[in-house]
Amino acid sequence: MKKISVFFLTAFLVIGGSIVSVNASQIQKYLSFPSINQIKNQNYSDIVAVVAGNTITGQDLTRQIEFEKKKWENVGLTKDASSYEKLALGQLISNALLDEQVQKRNLIVTEKEAEQYLKDIAKAINESNNDAEKVNFMSAIKASGFSTADEYIKSPDVIKSTSKVLARGKLKADIISSVEAPSDAEVLEFIDQNNLKTNDLKGVKEQMLNIRQQSVWETFNNSLLNDAAYDIKIGIDVKDYKDLYKDLYKELEGKSINNIQGEVIVQ
């Protein structure tokens, strides 16, 4: 059975766990990573962590490390090996904890829904006027061991992984659904305090709401990571792994880079 990478089809549509509309013009940046499916575990035990009864394998960790390394090197940032380990294992554990919450809240995305989602992406790319996007799309699919887009979309592994990613998006939507938008008075105060030169109150309100929602989502994620029971079998502490992400984002300030994220690719 092929164990494939699905990040290049799903990551750009799930930004921080939030599902957004299909946009073929956004695909290019996610097709630049070569396949990592042939990378084998040589440094870790067969099982590196257990989360909610589910195992994270050394192979999962090895591939996620390579993904983290390529993702950040692709935008000109390089970290030491221990940093990539922490980022990778932290992301795998966080996603496993989110998957547990999906199950508890019955927010599961069916395989039929995931397959339709993949078909919509393929359709968007096929209808795009950008020939380079189409070429890169097929190149990435072939790099994952498939001959056609149809074969990829119908792959049980791809569908299963896509279901997980989409379900995490539903979980985030559920968690942030109760966040209230700022009042007009709060928006005006924010504009005044930050010396903003704008009359776009609606736009500022949306940005403030997004910030509030993201804060609630981050608090929820951090509480899972800090309070949930999971067993790490190797000497890596992941509780502060998101601090590494924050440092990386700070280094990206001033660069023309968008939508860099820590989406899992295999687990």
Taking only the tens place, the pLDDT of each residue in 222-267 is: 999 999 999 999 999 998 899 998 888 888 875 644 444 444 443 4
Instruction: Report if residue 15 sits inside a domain.
Output: yes
Domain assignment of residue 142, given as a range: 7-180+225-251
Instruction: Report if residue 1 sits inside a domain.
Output: no
With CA atoms as reference, report the closest residue to 91 among 60, 113, 70. Answer: 60
Instruction: Report if residue 187 sits inside a domain.
Output: no
Cα separation, 21 vs 13, whole angstroms: 7
Reported as a single tens digit per residue, the pLDDT across 86-100 is 999 999 999 999 999
What per-residue string of b and e applies to 154-169 under the rule 16 or more CB within 10 Å gives b?
ebebbbebbbbbbbbb
Cα separation, 175 vs 129, whole angstroms: 37
pLDDT of residue 1 exceeding 50, the answer is no
Instruction: Report if residue 216 sits inside a domain.
Output: no
Reported as a single tens digit per residue, the pLDDT across 35-47 is 556 788 889 999 9
- Split into its structural domains, the chain has a count of 1
Arithmetic mean of pLDDT over the chain: 81
Which token pair is 71? Answer: 């993702």
Q: Give the per-residue pLDDT at 246.
A: 87
Instruction: Report if residue 57 sits inside a domain.
Output: yes
Stated pTM of the model? 0.79
